[in-house]
Structure 1
Amino acid sequence: MTVDIAGTVEPGYERVADAFERAFDGRPTMGAGLTIRVGGRRVVHLWGGLADERSRSPWQEETASVVFSCTKGLMSILVARLVQDGLLDYEAPVARYWPEFAAAGKGDVTVAQLLSHRAGLSALREPLTIDQLVDWDHATSLLAAEEPLWQPGTGYAYHAVTHGWLAGELVRRTTGRSAGQYFAALAGDHTSGAWIGLPDAAASRVAHLQASDSQVEAGEELGEAPSPWTALAMTLGGALPAQLVTPDGGFNDPRIRAAEIPGAGGIATADALSAIWSATVTETDGRTLLDDATLDAALIPMSEGEPVFPSPAPWPRWARGFQLDSEARRYLGDASFGHDGAGGQVAFADRDAKAGFAFVTNWMEAGDDRATRIVDAFRASL
């Protein structure tokens, strides 16, 4: 299949461009963007395919897409910056900043445990409607009052959506700003193509999401998981479809895109994501977001191995909110940290390479290796 690819590639990174082009094979309605920075400088900046298969409109340089759980990585950057600025302490109880959170035996849960999926709040016992999903106060009040699903700190389970509300309420309590507002203030010019809570003025820039057969099948298999909490973590009892998108629903719904849902609802261009991650490890466009001491503390491994609710291996690894290199998600190596997202999104930084990487796509697949092959090509190019 021939797909129109545009952009720039520095000499030495041609194999990355080849891997990006191969990602479109057999996917005639896919669109995607890829940007890689090394030492703060773009070395790969590519885009191609379709932003909307219904109108056949092409993916442009400024096209953004929902990045799903890559948003958790952005929230982890925000929390790390608050730690760096002395407003949060990873070892402190969450209740120091959010007193209501101490309810139902959660008074000793630390910020580090909360970020690393160890707080016992991976799902809500009360099913949510879409109206409740987009109501920040409703969701965070439920989480503050909820009894943990397991003893906090004794194990982990992926907080697929609730993670964003938990981290975001810490941001709100310590800064007086919502997660989206603080993100915009911290990331500065980088957020010209990245949002937590999409403004109306940017709505036309966002790609239409498509669920492939494998994405639909993965959603169907959620109902067959050994624990019902696994499906509830993803769907919140009906607020979201199991495959996360339908032609007009889920994360294609304008109400959901406009809301601040920082566990899964961030929207960004590959270029903006790459710049933000690059700025965590090296000066990028005149700014550096995190220092080495903060990264040392933020990247202490916290959760790995088999989770509380059984799921098939391989399993991911997490530090304090950041996803680490593992068999389940390969980055460049041990110096990498970031977060992937449903359907194939990947964004990360690497401390050794001083790199920021972002691949975003509107063609959602479960278990695909598009980004992995691009990362492999990037590793081989360094």
Structure 2
Amino acid sequence: MSAVHGTADERFLPVRDAFAAAFEGRPRMGAALAVHHQGQLVVDLWGGVADARSSSPWTSDTSTVVFSCTKGIMSLLIARLVEAGQLDYDMPLADIWPEFGAHGKGAVSVGDALSHRAGVSALRTPVGLAEALDWQTMTVLLAEQEPLWEPGSGYGYHALTHGWLSGEIIRRVTGKMPGQHLAETLAGPLGAELHLGVPVERQTDIAHSEAAESLLESVRAQQAASWPGEPDWPSAAMTLGHAFPQELVGPDAGFNRPDARAAEFPGAGAVATARGLSAAWSSAIHDTAATRRLDPVVLKRATEVRSEGAPVFPAPAPWPRWGAGFQLDSGARRYVSADGFGHDGAGGQVAFAEPGLDLSMAFITNWMESGDDDRATRIVDELRKVMGR
């Protein structure tokens, strides 16, 4: 088993043990865990390998692509714009992005877009990586597209397109690309290692992600279950056609590519340390020297259930629940309490905040699993016990 490095306050030693146990039988795994309580970093752990190809170790400064945890961070930024009166969840997205109203999408609200109800979970026009790297190309395609279902009538997970929706909301309101807005309003003030778009020359501390057999098997099973001649929209939501592999990474593909990490993918491409990601969530519920917690009234609106139950495209239960971009506590993703809100990410990443407990957590890993992956779940279970829940 890999050695675990870092610190954990005595009260949180059972959480450290659960983190250490996650490495058992996973010699190619690297991971990190951070927990903030009452604004203080009480767990700061890491271990394993950042790149199994070279056996380079995961260090205190190693970051990794956190995949859909990115959606939660974008949703925090948008909640701040709502708090500032620059945006409202109920306003039509077309009010700030007129082109998006094409083909019957004029009534799609900001809240609909964030809660996977906009009907554009995948592209009708398949694209390659070059197109996916171009912001203008992707936002124009989404704006001009006919929805896959009647917007607002149900939800379907917008695996990657969610990022251009949330990112364009931020760009239209602030006049800045979401990566710059993130740096200036959240990551920078907090001193957090949390980035959207990392220049190639600064990618030296980013871990190399690897798909475990469980994830590869899941992809194969999904491909076998699809019907020839019929669009597999959930699959297309992950690949955009042929821009990304279904598992999002390959030895030199997907989000292991320097150009993909350098681009802005607000649906899946943020790069962070566990420490930086947990700090961002903590700032939503706890005042810091540079930021104030999110207004409780806005937080209540942001975490109201907007989507739940069976999705438009059939998927096995348990199903998630969504607020305004936030993944809420459900059978699909348990937090410490029913009030937790956050977002998980492909392969095992989990990050969230607990307003009633003044607690946040981030677990990140480059060893991407699927199916019965219980690494983060076991850590959260121990954290729940520590907090007396």
CA–CA distance in structure 1, aligned partners of residues 316 and 190 of structure 2? 37
Aligned twin of 1:336 = 340
Query: Following TM superposition, by how much is the alpha carbon of 1:222 offset from its aligned partner in structure 2, in angstroms?
Result: 3.0
Query: Following TM superposition, by how much is the alpha carbon of 1:334 offset from its aligned partner in structure 2, in angstroms?
Result: 1.5
CA–CA distance in structure 1, aligned partners of residues 142 and 311 of structure 2? 20
2:331 to 323, 327, 330: 327
- The equivalences for 1:55-74 within 5 A come to 55-74=54-73
- The equivalences for 1:7-22 within 5 A come to 7-22=6-21
Question: Do the aligned residues in 2 keep the contact of 1:80 with 1:298 (CA within 8 Å)?
Answer: yes
Aligned twin of 2:204 = 204
Query: Following TM superposition, by how much is the alpha carbon of 1:362 offset from its aligned partner in structure 2, in angstroms?
Result: 0.3
- The equivalences for 1:259-338 within 5 A come to 259-338=263-342
Question: Do the aligned residues in 2 keep the contact of 1:222 with 1:230 (CA within 8 Å)?
Answer: no
Question: Do the aligned residues in 2 keep the contact of 1:40 with 1:285 (CA within 8 Å)?
Answer: no
Query: Following TM superposition, by how much is the alpha carbon of 1:189 offset from its aligned partner in structure 2, in angstroms?
Result: 3.9
Aligned twin of 2:92 = 93
Query: Following TM superposition, by how much is the alpha carbon of 1:190 offset from its aligned partner in structure 2, in angstroms?
Result: 3.4
Aligned twin of 1:380 = 385
Q: Which amino acid aligns with 1:52?
A: D
1:363 to 356, 364, 367: 367
Partner of 2:42: helix, strand, or coil? strand
Cα deviation code 1:193-225 (max 9, x no counterpart):
111111234300100001100111122233224
Query: Following TM superposition, by how much is the alpha carbon of 1:328 offset from its aligned partner in structure 2, in angstroms?
Result: 0.6
Cα deviation code 1:24-46 (max 9, x no counterpart):
01000110000000100011110
TM-score, length basis structure 1? 0.98
- The equivalences for 1:130-141 within 5 A come to 130-141=129-140
> How many percent identity over aligned positions?
54
Cα deviation code 1:80-127 (max 9, x no counterpart):
011011111101000100011111111111001110000100000011
Query: Following TM superposition, by how much is the alpha carbon of 1:294 offset from its aligned partner in structure 2, in angstroms?
Result: 1.1
Q: 1:201 to 1:356 in 2, by over 3 A?
A: farther
Query: Following TM superposition, by how much is the alpha carbon of 1:307 offset from its aligned partner in structure 2, in angstroms?
Result: 0.3
Query: Following TM superposition, by how much is the alpha carbon of 1:186 offset from its aligned partner in structure 2, in angstroms?
Result: 1.1
TM-score, length basis structure 2? 0.96
Query: Following TM superposition, by how much is the alpha carbon of 1:8 offset from its aligned partner in structure 2, in angstroms?
Result: 0.7
Q: 1:225 to 1:319 in 2, by over 3 A?
A: farther
Question: Do the aligned residues in 2 keep the contact of 1:225 with 1:231 (CA within 8 Å)?
Answer: no
Partner of 1:141: helix, strand, or coil? helix
Question: Do the aligned residues in 2 keep the contact of 1:52 with 1:207 (CA within 8 Å)?
Answer: yes
- The equivalences for 1:230-241 within 5 A come to 230-241=234-245
Q: Which amino acid aligns with 1:115?
A: L
Q: Which amino acid aligns with 1:259?
A: A
CA–CA distance in structure 1, aligned partners of residues 335 and 172 of structure 2? 33
Cα deviation code 1:311-338 (max 9, x no counterpart):
1111111001000001111111221000
Aligned twin of 1:220 = 220
Unaligned 5+ residue runs, structure 1? none
State the superposition RMSD in angstroms. 1.1
Aligned twin of 1:5 = 4
Question: Do the aligned residues in 2 keep the contact of 1:211 with 1:364 (CA within 8 Å)?
Answer: yes
CA–CA distance in structure 2, aligned partners of residues 86 and 275 of structure 1? 24
Question: Do the aligned residues in 1 keep the contact of 2:190 with 2:291 (CA within 8 Å)?
Answer: no
CA–CA distance in structure 1, aligned partners of residues 286 and 332 of structure 2? 27
Q: Is 1:83 equivalent to 2:82 in the alignment?
A: yes
Aligned twin of 1:104 = 103
Q: Is 1:156 equivalent to 2:155 in the alignment?
A: yes
CA–CA distance in structure 2, aligned partners of residues 79 and 295 of structure 1? 11
Question: Do the aligned residues in 1 keep the contact of 2:211 with 2:250 (CA within 8 Å)?
Answer: yes
Question: Do the aligned residues in 2 keep the contact of 1:41 with 1:284 (CA within 8 Å)?
Answer: no
Unaligned 5+ residue runs, structure 2? none
Q: 1:180 to 1:289 in 2, by over 3 A?
A: farther
Query: Following TM superposition, by how much is the alpha carbon of 1:153 offset from its aligned partner in structure 2, in angstroms?
Result: 0.7
Partner of 2:124: helix, strand, or coil? coil
CA–CA distance in structure 1, aligned partners of residues 181 and 97 of structure 2? 17
CA–CA distance in structure 2, aligned partners of residues 183 and 286 of structure 1? 14
Question: Do the aligned residues in 1 keep the contact of 2:192 with 2:279 (CA within 8 Å)?
Answer: no
CA–CA distance in structure 2, aligned partners of residues 65 and 346 of structure 1? 13
Partner of 2:99: helix, strand, or coil? helix
Q: Is 1:181 equivalent to 2:186 in the alignment?
A: no
Partner of 2:218: helix, strand, or coil? helix
Query: Following TM superposition, by how much is the alpha carbon of 1:11 offset from its aligned partner in structure 2, in angstroms?
Result: 1.3
4+ aligned runs moved over 6 Å, structure 1: none
